[in-house]
Amino acid sequence: MSTAVVPHARVDRSWLAPLLDTPELLPLEVAAAAKRAELSSDWPTAAQVSRAMGQPDRQPVEHFPEILAIMREHGTYLDENGRTTGWREVEWFLSPHVLLNGDPPYDVLRENPSGVLEAARVEHIEGNNSEASEEGQKS
């Protein structure tokens, strides 16, 4: 069985119709849905996560979309299909950064979003440009 992710619009679900007429399948689906609900009952809500990040009332973090755009356009966060799981971005936000006095971007983001944006720009854009020019000088 393939584990490849297929865009929603291209998925052929014609094979599913006969299964829906199978009485044994529906209880399994109901049980699976109940298990998912049980497992997710302890997950924090978006509001709880926002408050924990110091963003009451789910206010957007200034420059966050620009930071992610820089990371994804100029960094190595996307796979060959242009997708990301998000975990490498999380790692960047949680790792100490020299341009932020050794603090992780996550810790600085609320108080100094412009500083985090500049750190992302310097690391991913200027860093890539200097590596490209070094490669050109070696040739």
Within a domain: residue 49?
no
- Where residue 43 falls (left for φ over 0; alpha for ψ -120 to 50; beta otherwise) is beta
Total number of domains in the chain: 1
Burial 31-53 (b: 16+ CB within 10 A, else e): eeeeeeeeeeeeeeeeeeebeee
Within a domain: residue 105?
yes
Model pTM?
0.55
- Residues 3-44: tens digit of each pLDDT: 444 344 455 556 556 655 666 666 777 677 777 777 777 777
Within a domain: residue 72?
yes
Within a domain: residue 35?
no
What's residue 79's pLDDT? 87
Q: Which two tokens stand for residue 33?
A: 């849905």
Within a domain: residue 88?
yes
CB burial of residue 72 (10 Å; 0-12, 13-18, 19+): middle
Within a domain: residue 2?
no
Q: Which domain holds residue 105?
A: 57-138
What's residue 23's pLDDT? 63
pLDDT class of 57 with cuts at 50, 70, 90: low
Within a domain: residue 90?
yes
Within a domain: residue 52?
no
